[in-house]
A and B are shown apart, each in its own frame.
Chain A
Amino acid sequence: MKVEQISIFLENRAGRLADVTRTLSEAGVNIRALSLADTTDFGILRLIVTDHEKAKQALKENGFTVGRTNVVAAEVQDKPGGLHSILSMLSENGINVEYMYAFVQQSGKNAVLIFRFDRTDEAIETLQKHGIRIIPGNELYNI
């Protein structure tokens, strides 16, 4: 039920983000979701892509430091309070969210939340028990 996410270390220099997107497009990899976290001198770009093996290889060949993490994708109705109910359910069960980001699917009315948990398996169990749909990796890569 987990989703593969790749993360890339970036210095805060003009054009670095564009270097990543160009590398991926040249490798024929599409980006499904993206989030950038940054400080004054560096940033971490997190990506979900159509082919993470290919993406990782292309990025490494171009000198980027690339990491790989398992995250969880949850579907939530795109209406007020949707996110809040998920977050309170997790915190009631003592599960920490390390970080999260969201994107809206082209097709539907639902938003997709990408979570990085400290205890991934327990988080998935809790979400499912409460009727939240977890989107499997294959489905997400091919949206």
Chain B
Amino acid sequence: MVFDVQNETMPRDELESLQLKRLKYLAGKVYHNVPFYKQKFDEMGIKPESIKSISDLKNLPFTEKQDLRNNYPFGLFAVPRESVVRVHVSSGTTGKATVVGYTQRDVDNWARLMARSFESCGVNSTDIVHNAYGYGLFTGGLGAHYGAEVLGATILPVSGGATKRQVMLMKDFGPTVLCCTPSYALHLYETALANGISMEDLKLRVGIFGAEPWTEEMRQDIQNKLRLKALDIYGLSEIMGPGVGIECIAAQDGLHIWEDHFLMEIIDPETGESLPPGEKGELVITTLTKEAQPLIRYRTRDITRINPIPCRCGRTHYRIERITGRSDDMLIIRGVNVFPSQIESILLETEGLSPHYQLIIDRKGSMDILEVQVEVDEKLFSDEIKHLQNMEKKIMSHIKEFLGVTAKITMVEPKTIARSEGKAKRIIDRRNV
């Protein structure tokens, strides 16, 4: 079912004129209220009035995560601090934390978008929602919480941790919907089994998983084990929190982005140029309705592509593909953009293997050399040289075919690839140029 029929199924032409109206208003608002944007617009010689069509968006400045850090804590607010009713903080794994403020209307919009997202996953007011996203400065817990309340479902604000107690509550309360990270879903499953609770004792029907990257293989695994429909949710705290985009249960194929609130573009992460629909690149989002802290062309660093094909669920909002990587990880090899995640899926698709691998990039003269080291485990190993050599050739030709680069494949012994804190170091770039 559709929570907000009028807005979610709005014809594209109406949706696009609504976006333009909101963009024009937004440009004026940030220019006059946020010194950071006034300075940027002035430097680039842009006046808010010069926006005549959506395509003028490409003339506006980008906003980077670093800009949020530079204006820590409240420097990007477009309203007086007194009008801000809530603040969330995203923990900076690679630097200073970033702060996001919300007005009452921002918080209400967020709850309604989250309610849309729940309903898109087939959740309704009769459901019981077990919310294991963390409550606190992180946006996950409260974001899902208020959305479920607006929908009228029964919410269990479980938050993270105390996993054994969580599975006991699941048995006693019979939640039908589970919200958490995909890896925590598997942890809950294992904890349940270890405590003598089988999936038949539970009533789970839908899982809404996000806040970390996961693969289609992982989805299948979760669906088989937890016996529910697993759906992907997209969000980032700088933009709002969870509920920027969501899969629909009807198609389970890509995430609808709520385009009446978020204007999206795909750009080449190197040049910043806009890419035509269907091309893969970095997702850039402009918040069309945020009051407290609107952002113009925020670079998410997430790599995806826009799918403009109408969805069977009836929603007119375009979908993005599952996030396949971060532009921070992107390598440029002989002028070709390569993401480690692409190499990983090629290895997965070659004989269904998921070996440990490492990419080594070096430069000989003016030539970039890509070497893919693949650890030979027992599944891959053969006592015949030609089998291993065929495997190398196959991986090499798949990489050439799908990514357009020639790579040298080297089979290495297990554990040769350095691991730190359980995470393998995937990339070694020796080109110090």
Contact A5 B389, beta carbon cutoff 8 Å: no
Contact A67 B413, beta carbon cutoff 8 Å: no
Question: Contacting A65 at CB < 8 Å: which of B381, B389, B410?
Answer: B381
Question: How far is B376's CA from A39's CA once the two chains are assembled, in angstroms?
Answer: 15
Contact B385 A46, beta carbon cutoff 8 Å: no
Contact B385 A44, beta carbon cutoff 8 Å: yes
Instruction: Kindly state whether residue A103 has any CB partner on chain B within 8 Å.
Output: no
What number of residue pairs across chains A and B have CB atoms under 8 A from each other? Answer: 50
For residue B308, give the distance in angstroms from its CB to the closest CB of chain A.
46
Say what secondary structure dominates the interface of chain A. Answer: strand
Contact A42 B378, beta carbon cutoff 8 Å: no
Question: How far is B378's CA from A66's CA once the two chains are assembled, in angstroms?
Answer: 7
Instruction: Kindly state whether residue B414 has any CB partner on chain A within 8 Å.
Output: yes
Instruction: Kindly state whether residue B82 has any CB partner on chain A within 8 Å.
Output: no
Chain B residues whose C-beta falls within 8 Å of the C-beta of A14 in the assembled complex = none
Question: How far is B383's CA from A9's CA once the two chains are assembled, in angstroms?
Answer: 8
| Number of A residues, CB within 8 Å of B | 21
Question: Contacting B412 at CB < 8 Å: which of A11, A39, A64?
Answer: A11
User: Assuming the A-B contacts A39-B389, A42-B388, are A63 and B382 also in contact, with contact meaning beta carbons closer than 8 angstroms in the complex?
Assistant: no
Question: How far is B389's CA from A38's CA once the two chains are assembled, in angstroms?
Answer: 11
Instruction: Kindly state whether residue A10 has any CB partner on chain B within 8 Å.
Output: yes
CB proximity to A under 8 Å, residues B356-389:
376-378, 381-385, 388-389
Contact with B along A1-41 (1 / 0, CB 8 A): 00001010111000000000000000000000000011101
Chain A residues whose C-beta falls within 8 Å of the C-beta of B377 in the assembled complex = 65
Q: Which residue of B lies closest to A69 (CB)?
A: B383
Question: How far is B383's CA from A68's CA once the two chains are assembled, in angstroms?
Answer: 8
Chain A residues whose C-beta falls within 8 Å of the C-beta of B83 in the assembled complex = none
Contact B383 A63, beta carbon cutoff 8 Å: no
Question: How far is B383's CA from A65's CA once the two chains are assembled, in angstroms?
Answer: 11
CB proximity to A under 8 Å, residues B381-405:
381-385, 388-389
For residue A33, give the distance in angstroms from its CB to the closest CB of chain B.
14
Q: Which residue of A lies closest to B377 (CB)?
A: A65
User: Assuming the A-B contacts A39-B389, A66-B378, are A9 and B413 also in contact, with contact meaning beta carbons closer than 8 angstroms in the complex?
Assistant: yes
Question: How far is B391's CA from A39's CA once the two chains are assembled, in angstroms?
Answer: 14
User: Assuming the A-B contacts A9-B376, A39-B385, are A63 and B410 also in contact, with contact meaning beta carbons closer than 8 angstroms in the complex?
Assistant: no
Contact A41 B410, beta carbon cutoff 8 Å: yes
Contact with A along B175-213 (1 / 0, CB 8 A): 000000000000000000000000000000000000000
Q: Which residue of A lies closest to B378 (CB)?
A: A65
For residue A7, give the distance in angstroms from its CB to the closest CB of chain B.
4
Contact B385 A63, beta carbon cutoff 8 Å: no
For residue B252, give the distance in angstroms from its CB to the closest CB of chain A.
38
User: Assuming the A-B contacts A65-B376, A67-B378, are A37 and B385 also in contact, with contact meaning beta carbons closer than 8 angstroms in the complex?
Assistant: yes
Instruction: Kindly state whether residue B104 has any CB partner on chain A within 8 Å.
Output: no
Chain A residues whose C-beta falls within 8 Å of the C-beta of B388 in the assembled complex = 42, 44
Chain A residues whose C-beta falls within 8 Å of the C-beta of B382 in the assembled complex = 67
Question: How far is B323's CA from A95's CA once the two chains are assembled, in angstroms?
Answer: 51
Contact A42 B384, beta carbon cutoff 8 Å: no
Instruction: Kindly state whether residue B39 has any CB partner on chain A within 8 Å.
Output: no
Instruction: Kindly state whether residue B52 has any CB partner on chain A within 8 Å.
Output: no
Chain B residues whose C-beta falls within 8 Å of the C-beta of A63 in the assembled complex = 413-415
For residue A103, give the distance in angstroms from its CB to the closest CB of chain B.
17
Question: How far is B382's CA from A108's CA once the two chains are assembled, in angstroms?
Answer: 33
Would you list 16 pairs from A and B whose C-beta atoms are within 8 A, ordered by A residue? A5-B383, A37-B385, A41-B411, A42-B411, A44-B383, A46-B383, A65-B376, A65-B378, A65-B381, A65-B413, A65-B414, A66-B378, A67-B381, A67-B383, A69-B383, A99-B384
Binding site for B on A (CB under 8 A): 5, 7, 9-11, 37-39, 41-42, 44, 46, 63-67, 69, 98-99, 116
The 3 A-B pairs with the shortest beta carbon distances in the complex, nearest first, are A7-B383, A9-B376, A67-B381
